[in-house]
Structure 1
């Protein structure tokens, strides 16, 4: 690697034996950028879109703020208090194309706002999802145009819900109406997708045996680079590599634990943490690393599948999730739904805090990202698609007004929000699906 006058390419990689590690945005890269790239990296640019999906709706009373600000967060949203200034709660959104109400259409319509074809076979048809529309524009200069993640390591096939093929529940992201994009739930495979050379399972096992750590294989290049960077860039690289090593350590620990305790879950892939929370945190951290290194600018993450029967004993909910959501307005079941909502939100809040802690330019990764969190279902007991739980976070570089509750008194297409976020990251669409306009009041045109 040759560094001249503190001028590095944004695509600079640290290379070692069978490995390549991308770097975060550094001051030393700015002189080497083209005018377009420099604009994209400026403090006024929104560079990333992330979508996080939760299944089976919410308990509205414990989610919805009473006023127009977030000074008094309801119980399900309390974990977001440290980042509430970067958060807008949006209520009154609906998905008309998800009707007739079902779990399959909740998942399928969330990012497409399209009506799923009723079929149990392979002639499924939906619509191109917003993440893939964004990826064609803001993802074309990154190593991965988009990254699709999930928490469930096994996908069902055939018919899953009221005559709908399982493909609708399994996949959030569709690159065309007939092309669903499968999600990856295994942290090791995601890590290698981002930082390793890939290959067959046998090749990947050989790669793991041949090196103790990804960073060990690029250590010589790392030391050479560090000697030629300024102080702030050195700290930035050191922090990024520390995070990378910590993620790798946790994956290796999970693999060792799974190898030592192979029973009773014989189908669990090696390297997936036993704890749901540990698994989710690891997947969120991998997204943060991917954003920091500019490996991708578009992600989708399914925190659980629709009709999931996962239990959450760690928060006092040993009952399967899906049956709990059929609450019949019984207080004890509603309380459990609210606890699950709060648990999922807490993991998202940690992710936001992680992004906020990573500097980029004069701001942070959170400032230069837009993140949408929510569900395609409102009241799970009714399987409706009105008054959806939706959060929008980040976006300070795009002048998003945080600390607010944005309430629509009449049902408003979720497609309006999708269109707005696409426009803010530089995708110049006039309409999307059943949109009726943009939600301009989500952003402040005056505040700098």
Structure 2
């Protein structure tokens, strides 16, 4: 099947839209239209990890600025990252104030992740557009994000200004991105491939019908997005990609909705990211723990129960206080224990990346990846200053790993800009940036 070659009229229509500049707002400011990825220098892969409701800041930032040592995170929820200490840049005293910060969770979600520009494409989307990918520009996965209060509590925004709703089901993510490329263990094709081909044909026909309609700029942008999605599926079904190494397997768990399964679901999603990077399906991934102001998941993973005090055993494991937003305003030891779980999962992702070869760029995947971990607010009481943020990964030696940095109240947008430079991107600014973060880049 070669559907795309038979649809030249539709493709010419879409390209004419692009030539006329009828795409979404902010594209020039956020560099969404140009793939200027530096192939020979800087970080090659990007993961953005979101966790809700901030952290207990004095616990999170208990480390000193300067070289990180084995005791730097001893009393911090970052303690579980010690195995990768030489690939961490821990940053204190950044600020969201003037860079999208707000005392309300939905209001913060409108701009914190886009450099202070409300409803603009978020940083993960901007990076994904710049880096590109062999099949898709960005994969979005989550844990309990589908239980968010509403789309306004979702942190990430696509290039058309729409909130991104991610899949919480690891099996669904694998089936959509990896199944047709990796194949089954006995070499037989995925039994759902024929069904997906029929869906692809139907989507092409629907886009053809849209040509006859008068479309708004927003609708035209969505149509271009659909074109990209169809290109991805066409490439996937053609089965021409070569993947390197072993370690590809379908997750054994889906989205169960059971609190006790959250640990296994999060790990399965982290493995999905690592497998997608190893197969070079994409160079950008976004991981979302729940939605902002979340009250759906009891965070009771076995690894953090020793830190949960009286809520770490017995009937209190089922109490309402074990939910993130409920405990956040107390900024208690329980809330601090919950933020440990996020970092344990990031450490697991780093383990997965470190254990897989990067057949495209050499070394391991972790050697070439930059991971940004952040929330929409600073502290549990909606503070905008000194949020719990760190950057992890080898980033191809583009950043000063193994370091604690005092950003001296620098705006968050400045860190975004520096991260873009770590990828060799020639961005003059991002959002409300006014420079960089001293000591971050090499």
Q: Common fold, TM-score beyond 0.5?
A: yes
Which of residues 133, 142, 167 is equivalent to 2:151? Answer: 167
TM-score, with length taken from structure 1:
0.68
Unmatched tracts of structure 2, length 5 or more: 1-34, 191-241, 306-310, 312-316
Q: Indicate the residue corresponding to 1:285 in structure 2.
A: 271
Aligned counterpart in structure 1 of residue 343 of structure 2, from 345, 350, 362:
345
Q: Are 1:398 and 2:402 matched, yes or no?
A: no
1:80 corresponds in structure 2 to 81
1:135 matched to 2:119? The reply is no
CA distance in 1, matches of 2:46, 2:53: 23
Out of 164, 173, 180, which is 2:163 matched to? 180
Compute the TM-score of the two structures, normalised by the length of structure 2. 0.69
Separation in 1 of the partners of 2:372 and 2:37? 26
Partner SS state of residue 188, structure 2: helix
Structure 1 residue 56 displacement after superposition: 0.6
After TM superposition, give the deviation of residue 51 of structure 1 in Å. 0.3
2:56 to 55, 59, 65: 59
> Within 5 A, what are the aligned runs for 1:241-260?
241=246, 243-245=247-249, 248=250, 250-251=251-252, 254=253
Deviations 1:122-151 (A, max 9, x none): xxxx11111222222211x42011111111
Structure 1 residues 388 and 187 mapped into 2: Cα distance closer, same or farther (>3 Å)? same
1:59-208 equivalence runs, <5 A: 59-68=56-65, 69-71=67-69, 72=71, 73=73, 74-96=75-97, 97-114=99-116, 116=118, 126-139=119-132, 141-152=133-144, 154-155=146-147, 166-176=150-160, 178-196=161-179
Shift of 1:323: 1.3
1:391 offset after TM fit, Å? Answer: 0.7
Could you tell me how far 1:344 is from its partner in structure 2? 1.1
What CA deviation, in whole Å up to 9, does each residue of 1:284-304 have, x standing for no partner? 000001111110111111112
Contact 2:413 2:430 in 1 (8 A): yes
Match of 1:11 in 2: none
Query: Secondary structure of 1:432's partner?
Result: coil
Contact 2:138/2:282, CA 8 A, preserved across alignment: yes
2:46 maps to which of 46, 49, 53: 49
- Structure ranking higher in strand proportion: 1
1:325 maps to which residue?
A: 328
Let me know the Cα RMSD of the aligned residues: 3.0
Q: State the partner residue of 1:356.
A: 354
Rounded Cα–Cα distance in structure 1 between residues aligned with 2:116 and 2:37: 36
* 1:302-341: CA deviation from partner (whole Å, max 9, x where unpaired): 11211222212333343222111110x6xxxx11111111
| 5+ residue gaps, structure 1 | 1-35, 117-125, 161-165, 199-210, 220-235, 259-264
Residue by residue over 1:165-196, the C-alpha shift from the partner in whole angstroms, topping out at 9 and shown as x without a partner, is: x32312423214x2233211111221122124
The answer on whether the counterparts of 2:44 and 2:396 sit within 8 Å (CA) in structure 1 is no
Q: Aligned-pair distance for 1:154?
A: 2.7
- CA shift for structure 1 position 78: 0.8
Alpha carbons of 1:274 and 1:173: their partners in 2 closer, same or farther (altered >3 Å)? farther
Q: How many residues align?
A: 333
Contact 1:358 1:365 in 2 (8 A): yes
